[in-house]
Structure 1
Amino acid sequence: MTAEHTATPVDSSLPRLGQGFVWQDLAAGQRFRTFRRTITETDLVNFIGVTGMLEAIFIEEGYEGAAMAGRPVPGALTYTLIEGFILQTMIQGTGLAMLELHQKILAPVVVGDTIEAVVEVTDIRPTSRSGRAVVTSRIDVFNQRSVLVMTYTATRLLAGRA
């Protein structure tokens, strides 16, 4: 004997869990902080393997030409981990395009460091098309010692309410 299961179909008017902000929900000066994440040796190995960044400083333990102690992490890995947080929490389903990016790497990040970021919306310019807007944000990335390791400005196209 089988039990009959009934359920209400998915109601498309229900709020979607994890849905990002539409541009109308943001304001210049609004600030957010991301989750924190500790960068592991596995993160480094996977990243350099998939990107082909097989530079000696990243693949050779104790590389004698290194300018610092520890296992340095490419700035691109730090950036992409923070962007992952932003995509998952702030613009999931509403981010339409990255239009421009200006980045400065200010301090080294090594395996074992824990990073997080502060995102500040700095400008919102509605477009003439389909309720979209160009949203600019400044993202400051910090390590576990509150050292600013990276800052970047991202200009994105975000969806709006119809």
Structure 2
Amino acid sequence: MLQRIYFEDYTTGAWRETAGRTITETDIVLHAGQTGDFFPHHMDAEWCKTQPFRQRIAHGTLIFSIAIGLTATVVNEVAFSYGYDRLRFLQPVFIGDTIRSKVTIKEKRPYKKPGSGLVTELVEVFNQAGACVMVCEHILLAQLKT
């Protein structure tokens, strides 16, 4: 769906949640193949049994990719991703865990480019038990209405 959400349309404190997505073994194997990250933490079930978590964990970059993908429900013709800051992986995500994302407008500020401003979204990712497993800030470059 195409929309035009201008800088002025964003409201600090407004939030939305996404649907859930269950992480599968296939997700982990495909991500390892795409990135070349075949560390045993992700790929070796027997080795993981000897480690503190006792099971394979999903790549942090996989969780980031899926969590951000879950938030991509609207094509905004007047705002673009400027980048991500303060990315942290707070808890492991395991095969079978279901994650969902919560996006909250954290702040708005002017930008050096005339006719635009920066919108910071706080992205929090929760597992099925309600534990926050990842957090980051998504920066949007949004066009002004005027």
Identify the TM-score tier after normalising by the shorter chain: 0.7 to 0.9
Any idea what SS the aligned residue of 2:27 has?
Answer: helix
Any idea what SS the aligned residue of 1:63 has?
Answer: helix
Contact 2:55 2:94 (8 Å CA) reproduced? yes
Show the counterpart of 1:96.
Answer: 80
Q: Which runs of 5+ in 1 are unaligned?
A: 1-16
TM-score when scaled to structure 2?
Answer: 0.85
Query: In structure 2, what is the Cα distance between the partners aligned to 1:143 and 1:20?
Result: 31
Query: Which amino acid counterpart does residue 56 of structure 2 have in structure 1?
Result: R
Taking a change above 3 Å as real, the CA distance of residues 35 and 18 of structure 1, as seen in their structure-2 partners, is farther
Show the counterpart of 1:116.
Answer: 100
Show the counterpart of 2:55.
Answer: 70
Show the counterpart of 2:41.
Answer: 57
Q: What is the CA deviation profile of residues 47-103 of structure 1, one whole-angstrom value per residue up to 9, with x for unaligned ones? A: 1110111111211122155321232101111111111122x2255544423334112
Please state which structure has a larger fraction of its residues in strand: 2
Show the counterpart of 1:156.
Answer: 140
Residue 82 of structure 1, aligned match among 64, 67, 84: 67
Q: 56-65 or 32-41: which moved more? A: 56-65
Show the counterpart of 1:136.
Answer: 120
Q: Percent identity?
A: 28
Contact 1:20 1:90 (8 Å CA) reproduced? no
Residue 27 of structure 1, aligned match among 2, 7, 11: 11
Query: In structure 1, what is the Cα distance between the partners aligned to 2:76 and 2:107?
Result: 19
Query: In structure 2, what is the Cα distance between the partners aligned to 1:20 and 1:66?
Result: 49
Query: In structure 1, what is the Cα distance between the partners aligned to 2:106 and 2:74?
Result: 15
Greater C-alpha Rg: 1
Contact 2:2 2:75 (8 Å CA) reproduced? no
